[in-house]
Amino acid sequence: MDPLQTPEFIDPGIDRVFMGDALRLAARAYEAGEVPVGAVIVRGPRIIARAWNQVELLKDATAHAEMLALTMAQEAVGDWRLTDCTLYVTKEPCPMCAGAIVHCRLARVVFGAPDAKAGAAGGAMNLLQFPTLNHRSAITPGIREDECRHLLKSFFLEQRRRDDRPRQPVDP
């Protein structure tokens, strides 16, 4: 099997279920005033890590949902290698998160909303399948995309309404 393609035995219904868990976590981030991104990492049939963006809460620019979930998953597995795990995340990973995903050697990344301006899983660039890196993850985009995108757009619209400062337009 080509490692860059989604394996044929993946059940899209299961992807929708796990993305639902990530969406619930994204809603928690929204309620906390964080950019609404949620992530779960699955190994076999069970979730081993759950996280949502906590950049503002932790005052840490690296506290993206994916980064926090990767740390939890490594602890759960007892190894930094996550070769038999799948990440479900509501928004296409950024370059920082994609770099960490490659280094952790995640088998697969499933995301909801694409990010044409800054996504690193095929949006603006594709670090997850960069040919010279030592690992490449299979990518499944667009799972529950409308729900993921709606949550992001609602959040940024609300932020712009609350904030009188001029802002750069954000297109999640």
Q: Could you say which of 8, 66, 75, 147 is catalytic?
A: 66
Which residues lie below 8 Å from residue 131, measured CB to CB, with a gap of 6+?
none
Phi-psi region of 7 (alpha: psi -120 to 50; beta: other; left: phi over 0): beta
CB crowding 136-153: b at 16 or more within 10 Å, else e: bbbbbbebbeebbbbbbe
Q: Is 34 a catalytic residue?
A: no
Asked whether 82 and 108 are in contact (CB, 8 A), the reply is no
Enzyme catalytic residues: 66
